[in-house]
Chain A
Amino acid sequence: MNNQYYSKLIFELSREGRQGYSLPRNEFVNHNLCDMPAQLLRQQEPKLPEVDELTVVRHYTNMSNNNFGVDTGFYPLGSCTMKYNPKINEDMAAHPDFTGLHPFQPAGTADGALEIYYNLQHSLAELSGMKEFTLNPFAGAHGELTGLMVMRSYHASRGEGETRRKVIVPDSAHGTNPASAAVCGLEVVTVKSLADGTVDVDDLRPLLDNTVAGMMMTNPNTLGIFERNIATIAAMVHEAGGLMYYDGANLNPLLGRCRPGDLGFDIMHINLHKTFSTPHGGGGPGSGPVGVREGLERFLPNPRVVKVSDDDGDSFMIQHGEESLGCISAFLGNFGVIMRAYAYILTLGHEHVKEVGPLATLNANYVKESLKDVYELPLDVVCKHEFVFDGLKDKSTGVTTLDVAKRLLDYGFHAPTIYFPLLFHEAMMIEPTETESIETLDAFIEVLRKIAGEASENPEMVKTAPHNTPVRRLDDTKAALEQIVTYQFE
């Protein structure tokens, strides 16, 4: 139960002159600020909240109680793979031998850390059928940008950098795909989906010519459907001289069973914070390693970690390649996240890594089949790790997907991804992941059925949900139009 007083903003709790801490004497008060430009010098004291220690503790403890995460409840957010983050990952990452590392310490004094970095590169390569990986990108979209820069470097190396500018993206793709291509200075062309949600090969064919840089796909696609024509598509794109990019957001169901490299993909990224159980918390830190097939590794970003073997055994070095596309991040990515993903892979091992996909697939199909009589299922087929409902089956009540999502919060579940993909009007994208028990899935199913009942009996109550959360419906429009993110002092 939250205390309303302490849940106010920290600035509202501020009382002039109140102190919670005595700071050491400022030794730099008369420090010569040399040539610092005048406009950069602070003209007045910073307006910091003036609060006692207990108020600070109560304020932030109350705030933290408003958090919802995988550790507090079921989080079926489609396309996000909100699986449990095993605590052994945290134990490993928190080891003082890793937390005490400094990016500027000599490489020779961090051999163990470099070995872990190198080993993860190779575990990911083995699991995905790629030749080499870089772990430097900080997030999935950052990985996409890096991968597309590899694609550009490849075409540039063949003298086609200026002519091959077209990137083909399915209309069901994650929004990051066209966005990354645009940020990379490439031209986005959309290819249509068939009624079953997979890429329309006939719509793709006329798009393929000598201006194609490549095609971006996620498989299974955002509807959770495996792209059966993937080998044909890859062959067509390669025939036209383009490269195939795999968006690893949906890698989870394939893990250890089917490798993007074997499906014909040339470049890919992996979201460690999805498939490899590292936290999504608070928007980060994420990690989006990029893998490439043989022949493209020379373009990967600097710095690289390589193994050197001689008479004294193996050692690990940081290297800068000359043909590299350059640096895309400071140092070597989010090492703490890399450590967690490595711990996860070692925990599962070769044998158990293969159980992830089938369980994730089973859970998704179980939820889908248990609800399809009350929620509209546009594609009634076996899905992989996730599936999409098109809102409630009974549309006559006027209760929308947004209303259902809000009502779920009242029952202590996180909402699924809503209004994506754009192929359906009332999309509700559910991904349970493999880490949920049947009891949790049953409870979720029961609640969604109950909400469907409420929509018929008392639609107004569902339309005005949530009723039990710390805040009710927020004004999304105002939040988008008037972005005031600092405290407004009077």
Chain B
Amino acid sequence: MSKVIEGLYYSETHEYVRVEGEMGYVGITDYAQHELGNVVYVDMPEVGDEFEAGDEFGAVESVKAASDLNTPVGGTVEEVNDALEDEPGLVNKDAFENWIIKLKLADMAELDDLMDAEAYRKFIGE
């Protein structure tokens, strides 16, 4: 049973956005980290990079597979989670605590296209 947190926004490609003011913290869901297995590398963008919703912003590599990361919402990268460079396994420890990028959101209305916790729980069949 994967953890799904209320109040976050979820994409079909298993990323989440946690919104704080005009900032959005983007990471992969607990379900995604569980499916991937132990993460050994997280490829992250540069601060200042701009993305539109759905764009690939990096990749996460595990012992099982490498997967692209797609941002559920558009925006400008304000910060990347540097801790993941040395310790990519943090994503497995707590995927929601260890976000990957912090975006300055371009359009709050894009959040309406994403799933809430209940819809995501249904989406992953739990």
Contact = CB atoms under 8 A, between A and B. Distances in A.
A59 B42 CA distance: 39
A419 B64 CA distance: 7
Contacts of A480: 40-41, 63
A481 interface: yes
B65 interface: yes
Interface residues of B, number: 10
Nearest to A476: B63
A425 interface: yes
A419 to B, nearest CB: 5
Interface in B19-64: 35, 38, 40-41, 63-64
A422 interface: yes
B35 A477 contact: no
B33 to A, nearest CB: 13
B35 A481 contact: no
Contacts of B88: 481
Contacts of A422: 65
Interface of A: 175, 419-420, 422, 425, 476-477, 480-481
B121 to A, nearest CB: 17
B2 to A, nearest CB: 13
B40 A477 contact: yes
B89 interface: yes
A193 to B, nearest CB: 16
8 closest pairs, A vs B, by CB? A477-B38, A480-B40, A476-B63, A419-B64, A481-B40, A477-B63, A422-B65, A477-B40
Contacts of A175: 66
Contacts of B40: 477, 480-481
A476 B66 CA distance: 14
A399 to B, nearest CB: 16
A480 B65 CA distance: 12
A476 B38 contact: yes
A286 to B, nearest CB: 22
A476 B88 CA distance: 14
Given A420-B65, A476-B63, A480-B41, 15 more contacts: A175-B66, A419-B64, A419-B65, A422-B65, A425-B35, A476-B38, A477-B38, A477-B40, A477-B63, A477-B89, A480-B40, A480-B63, A481-B40, A481-B88, A481-B89
Interface in B55-105: 63-66, 88-89
Contacts of A420: 65
Contacts of B66: 175
A422 B89 CA distance: 21
Contacts of A425: 35
A329 to B, nearest CB: 27
Nearest to A479: B63
Contacts of B38: 476-477
A476 B35 CA distance: 16
A2 to B, nearest CB: 27
Nearest to A400: B37
A425 B63 CA distance: 14
A92 to B, nearest CB: 40
A476 B63 CA distance: 6
A305 to B, nearest CB: 38
A481 B39 CA distance: 10
18 contacts: A175-B66, A419-B64, A419-B65, A420-B65, A422-B65, A425-B35, A476-B38, A476-B63, A477-B38, A477-B40, A477-B63, A477-B89, A480-B40, A480-B41, A480-B63, A481-B40, A481-B88, A481-B89
Contacts of A477: 38, 40, 63, 89
A175 B63 CA distance: 15
B48 to A, nearest CB: 22
A169 to B, nearest CB: 13
Contacts of B65: 419-420, 422
A13 B18 CA distance: 56
Contacts of A419: 64-65
Nearest to A420: B65
A232 B66 CA distance: 31
A419 B89 CA distance: 20
A477 B92 CA distance: 12
Contacts of B63: 476-477, 480
Q: Which of B38, B63, B64 has the most CB of A within 10 A?
A: B63
Nearest to A422: B65
A420 B67 CA distance: 13
A484 to B, nearest CB: 15
A419 B40 CA distance: 17
A358 to B, nearest CB: 33
A480 B38 CA distance: 10
A138 to B, nearest CB: 24
